[in-house]
Amino acid sequence: MDTNAFSTAPPTSNPSAIRPGDSRYDSLLRGSNHRFSGSPEEIHVITTAEQAVSVVGEAARSGATVAVRGGGHGFEDFTANQGVRVLLDMSEMDHVDYDPVRDAFAVEAGSTLGHLYRALFKGWGVTVPGGECPEVGVGGHLIGGGYGPLSRRYGAVVDFLYGVEVVVVDEDRNARLVVATREPDDPHHDLWWAHTGGGGGNFGVVTRFWLRSPEAGRTGPREILPPAPRMWRSRAEIWSWDSLDEETFRRVLSNFGSWFETHSSPGSPSTGITGFLHASPRHGHGVVVGAMADDDVPQVTELLDDLFDSVRAGVAPSPMRTESVRPWLEFSAYPGWGDPGGPDTRRIKIKAAYMRRGFSDEQISTAYRYLTTDEPHESQLILIGYGGEVNAVDPPRTATAQRDSVLKAAYMSVWGVAEDDDHNIRHLREFYREVYADTGGVPGLDGPTDGSYINYPDSDLADPAWNRSGLPWHDLYYKENYPRLQAVKKRYDPGDFFHHALSIRLPQEPGA
Ligand SMILES: Cc1cc2nc3c(=O)[nH]c(=O)nc-3n(C[C@H](O)[C@H](O)[C@H](O)COP(=O)(O)OP(=O)(O)OC[C@H]3O[C@@H](n4cnc5c(N)ncnc54)[C@H](O)[C@@H]3O)c2cc1C
């Protein structure tokens, strides 16, 4: 018997289900990726944990499939497919406060990252090393092992996850609320662990997270999370495609990869800065190398100079340069910042890889060919600085197994209308398959790559037509942590009530 469980209670507020025909229904139907839209019978805007228990319990008893949406920034159809009958929208449940009992920040699961950064900063001058897009929800982001511009310095955001409050469904289809913390003697320790990178929509509905530094001895709201930067420095150097031939492109990508290979050890001063490389399709801006940091990092401009000088080594054309120093909140919580496309161009496909090393010359040639082809496409390539403090954590300690990569790669296509789906998706798929041709068309394990990132989910990894590596999709995302995730699934969702195309399978299930 769980001491902190309670029986299903009636909702305390806003109990009404929003059904088709209700004027609110269409506005609440889809998330930010307009490729996907479900047709749930009911959408519930959740405002309390008790209401979530009630809605989930009701759905479980009737056998209806439930999905939970946080910020709606998931890339696949996990919350918006035709199987979903009841959709929980958490976005109005977004309170952030310091909890003196647990000496941790309590963050309701519908908060966006931007709201979290604002609340932590305005209240206490602290922050977490989460993602860069303020509209992303903490719901999916934290559970999937989120990272961002401060991760090289402080770690992945899940390294700060102290606890979760989750609505789970037992084998008798009763919903109950469980609190799980990272305390080693917590009877629900494994449920906490599964939420440190196991991915959203797998074990239940998280209603609240608690965040606190992993370091012992820190107490009080200003001590338990990293200090937020005062000012944020960003620099970018941009080469237009006209100025880049294949050899120059090779140099830039190769230099960028080499810098991260040699400047990403935990504790190295260079982890005070991070960087990215963004290569657009031929009709776009070209190649941007960007880097950024807390402006109070010691010798920040020298560190940035070192990165940019290294990237420019042997590159003849001069890039255009921009630099800015802005107050932290203007960078971290600026509304709309980071969302690809506009409201009319939000059809998105993503594929990804963890990279222990930069690209080989052959891979760079492939990237050049795919990005600059005259064939119509919207594929772009983004390499994002990783490693540093993230790599100070042992892989089994959290569900985020990849702990020795130095970059993440995102292959993304963003377009406007359904008629363009086929050629844009095909181009991205072929581009990715060819980059990883030596490892069965996917980023293999135990070599220059280390699988992929569940927060950039790609259902193609579960499709033998696109994954010929012989490695199942779950090994690419979770590696050796997968059996433990399955054990948590069995204990907390024995009826597989929460599932989607890439959800953790029960141990005996096909494809497990
Ligand atoms: C524009 C953009 C920028 C991004 N930038 C970054 C970045 O800088 N760093 C990074 O790490 N990632 C980034 N991501 C990826 C992002 O972390 C994931 O897409 C994340 O899963 C989104 O969470 P969400 O709550 O907004 O999405 P949703 O679509 O609401 O949810 C995603 C998944 O999580 C589940 N989920 C959501 N809330 C809950 C809950 N309360 N309980 C249980 N399951 C839940 C959903 O059911 C779904 O399976 C970005 C994504 C986008 C679209």
The proportion of the chain whose per-residue pLDDT surpasses 90, expressed as a percent, equals 92
- Which H or E run contains 379? strand 379-385
Atom 31 of ligand 1 has which residue's CA nearest to it?
140
Report the mean per-residue pLDDT for the chain: 95
pLDDT(11) > 60: no
Atom 35 of ligand 1 has which residue's CA nearest to it?
200
Atom of ligand 1 nearest to the CA of 453: 11
Atom of ligand 1 nearest to the CA of 78: 49
Atom of ligand 1 nearest to the CA of 384: 8
> Which domains are assigned to the chain?
1-228 (3.30.465.10), 231-477 (3.40.462.20)
What is the structure's pLDDT at 8? 42
pLDDT-based confidence at residue 15 (cuts at 50, 70, 90): low
Q: 248 C-alpha vs ligand 1 centroid, how far in Å?
A: 35
Neighbours of 239 (CB within 10 A): 22
| 3-state secondary structure string across 30-48 | CCCCCCCCCCCCEEEECCC
What is the structure's pLDDT at 13? 44
Q: 420 C-alpha vs ligand 1 centroid, how far in Å?
A: 25
pLDDT(144) > 80: yes
The proportion of the chain whose per-residue pLDDT surpasses 70, expressed as a percent, equals 96
pLDDT(5) > 70: no
- Kindly report each contact of residues 417-420 with a partner whose C-beta sits within 8 Å and lies 24 or more positions away, as own/partner: 417/347, 418/35, 418/347, 420/347, 420/376, 420/378
Classify 186 as helix, strand or coil: coil
Tokens 């941007």 label which residue? Answer: 288
Measured CA to CA, the distance from residue 102 to residue 54 in angstroms comes to: 26
Q: 403 C-alpha vs ligand 1 centroid, how far in Å?
A: 20
Contact 465, 441 (CB under 8 A): no
Strands, DSSP E only, in 255-366? 273-279, 287-294, 320-327, 347-355
Least-confidence region, from 10-19, 25-34, 476-485: 10-19
* DSSP letter assigned to residue 460: G
- Residues 77-103 have a mean pLDDT of 97
Contact 166, 206 (CB under 8 A): yes
pLDDT(266) > 70: yes
Contact 99, 210 (CB under 8 A): yes
